[in-house]
Every structure is written in structure tokens, then in C-alpha cells.
Amino acid sequence: MRIVLEDGFAMEKGAGIGQYTRNLLCQLKKRPEICDILLIEKPFLNKILPRALRRAVYITWLNSYLQLFLRRNRVDIIHFTNYLVPILRLANAKYVVTIHDLTAWRFPETLPKTYVFYIKWAISHAVKTVDLILTVSEALKREIVDLFEIENQKIRVIYNGVAENFWELPKRSSDERGVVQEKFGIKKDFLLFVGTLEERKNIMTLVKAFEIIRNYKNLQLVLVGRPGYGFSRLSQYLDEHHLKGDVVLTGYVSEEEKIALYDSASVFIYPSIYEGFGIPLVEAMVRQVPIVASRIPAIEEVAGEAAVYYDDLYDHEALAKEILRVLENESLRDDMVRKGFQQAQKFSWEKIGKQYLEACQELIRADQR
């Protein structure tokens, strides 16, 4: 079987879809059933600015060079991991797409307005065009089936996982953790958030909850991730409320630095208003960090009994109450860590790779009948 992965620019950005693509590629390279697995690199496209022009050139590339590549190399499956699928279809390769969320439909206000139209068009086209839709949770599958009225056999749930080095235990040494904390100016015990700093992640509610918590606990709040849509409002709030010392913005960090931060955190907080999956939840469970999270379907599916939930997404007082409850109850934390590590076993890349391979084999066999 010859498979090509096309990620758009997801790996360059390093967020959730990029991690998914990188980890999937590493897993599939280990599978003897796959004679060739390739991620197409596009260095010339990465240099194009502004982004709108790069996107236009990329769409042209998808419908020209990529089609010629697929025909010349007799590819069995082309998997679009970042939802954008060519308009033209000139090769015999089976088309697979992964849909990671439906934010543009569910919470369009958390995205730039021009981007909402683009994403809606791209995902709608992909759903109509591809041979197989992969998605990352049962919760999201239900949303996709309901929205697009597609048949169940065209869509499969294959969960996300985390990079293999996250499974390396025990935790990082105190010296390793100390170096990372010193680099980012972390001088106290801390609460941790990991993800793009954007509207959908509900960071403002977390920051307001932290303002309450620091009246009771001598902590810092560490926000790990690149700025996203709405970040300017967060930055302004931190300035106006003189929080820049106690709220640490690390920006992008390496995988090893991220692991060290998980290993040092008192509690991991994930207050998103909407998710298709939530890779940092699995990272936190693997690294044995108790979780406080918003009660939304995908997060409950991923974290299960390993998290303490709060119900009203924008109620920072309720969020602060649950964080304090976890901080003050050692037996609760121990129980959450134990359940979390058990829950994390569902998301090993070995299981995910096997399910992925079965889905691809079934797709090819269906064409041979």
C-alpha cells in the first residue's frame, strides 16, 4: 500500500493538526503492510507572504502539481489531514480526509469572519468529494453526520494520540524541570494550560479564575502556546490587571520543554468552549497531572473520569472553585492521576495505527469487489 499525507501547513504551525500529522506519519512508517508512506514537502510555498496569497497559490498547487504527482507515482491513498481537498480529481488514488472540528459552524465568533466562509466551503467540499472521512471523537462524528446527513459507513472515528516521548516515565528530573522553569521565569508552583491562545480556548475565563485563586494560593498561571485569534484582548487584560508577572506566556515550546512543564504543574486546566478532541488532555493524563476542564462532549469523551468538570463555560467563579477543590484535596488528585493514566491507554499510537491501517485496507478492498 502506498500512502501520501498532505497537511496543508499544519506541521509548520505546530498546533494540534500538525502534531496529529507528524505522529501519524511516524506510526505508519513502522507498519510493514505499507510499502511507502510520504509527506509532501512544500518549502517554496512556506516562503510566500502574505498568508492570503500563499493560500491561493496552495489551492492552485493542489489542483495541478499534486494531481500530476499522484498519477505518476500510482498512489493508493492520499490523506488530507487538514481538511482542504482539491477541486479537481485526476488520479485514481482514494481520497481520505480528517475533520478535526466544526468550529466554523458551532462557534463562528471565535474565528476571523473571512476564515469562517473559507473553512465552511473547504470542509463541505471535502465531505462531498472524499471516499472516507476520518474524525477524532464519537462526539464530533455525531455532529458531522447530523450536519451533512452522510451515511455512517463513510465516516470512521480514529482517536488522536500523543508523541511517543510523552510515554517515557518516570517524570523528568528536578534538575531538568528547574532549567525549563528558569528559562520561562516560573518561580512558584503553577497551573498549566497548553494550546493556541485563541478565543475558542476560553483563556479569559481561566485568567479571571486565576485572579480569584491567587487570593488563596501562592501560584503562577503558565499559558503554553502561540497567540491566536483574539489574543490582543487577552494581552490587554493582562496589562490592565497587572498580571504579567503571575501569568507566564511561554509562546511555542519544544516537546521536551512541554513534558517538563507538565511534570512540574500542580493542575492542568482546559476550559475550551468547543473541541473535536483535545490532544493536551491526553498529554496531561500520560504525564499524570490532575485535570480541571469544561464539561463539553468531546472533552468528557477523552478525559472520562480523570477530570473534574465545571458546567457554565464562562463562569470563572465556578472554574476557580473546582481548581481550588483539586488543589486542596490530595486523595482526589491521586485518584484523578490514577484514572487518567488508565484512560490514556485508549489513545496509544499503536492502537490508532492499527485502526488506521484497517480503515485503509477496507477502503481499497471495497474498490476491488
DSSP string for residues in 120-137: HHHHHHHHHH-SEEEES-
CA distance 293 to 274: 11
DSSP annotation of 171: P
CA distance 25 to 167: 18
CA distance 293 to 272: 8
CA dihedral (250, 251, 252, 258) in degrees, to 10, reads 20
Q: In this structure, are residues 102 and 147 in contact, taking their beta carbons and an 8 Å threshold?
A: yes
* Single-letter amino acid, residue 346: K
Q: In this structure, are residues 327 and 298 in contact, taking their beta carbons and an 8 Å threshold?
A: no
Alpha helix segments (H runs only) across the chain: 10-13, 16-28, 43-46, 51-62, 65-73, 103-106, 113-129, 138-148, 174-183, 203-213, 231-240, 255-264, 279-286, 297-303, 316-327, 330-344, 349-368
* Single-letter amino acid, residue 166: F
Q: 98: which strand partners?
A: 134
Model pLDDT, residue 19: 86
CA distance 262 to 265: 5
Model pLDDT, residue 58: 87
Cell 508523541, residue located: 163
Domains of the chain: 2-161+348-368 (3.40.50.2000), 166-346 (3.40.50.2000)
Element at 279 (helix H, strand E): helix 279-286
Q: Which of 294, 303, 298, 184 is nearest to 249 (CA)?
A: 184
Element at 36 (helix H, strand E): strand 36-39
Model pLDDT, residue 368: 67
DSSP annotation of 197: B
Name residues of the chain where pLDDT drops below 70.
13-14, 368-369
DSSP annotation of 108: G
Model pLDDT, residue 9: 75
Model pLDDT, residue 369: 59
Output the CA angle 83-85-89, nearest 5 degrees. Answer: 160
Q: In this structure, are residues 81 and 7 in contact, taking their beta carbons and an 8 Å threshold?
A: yes
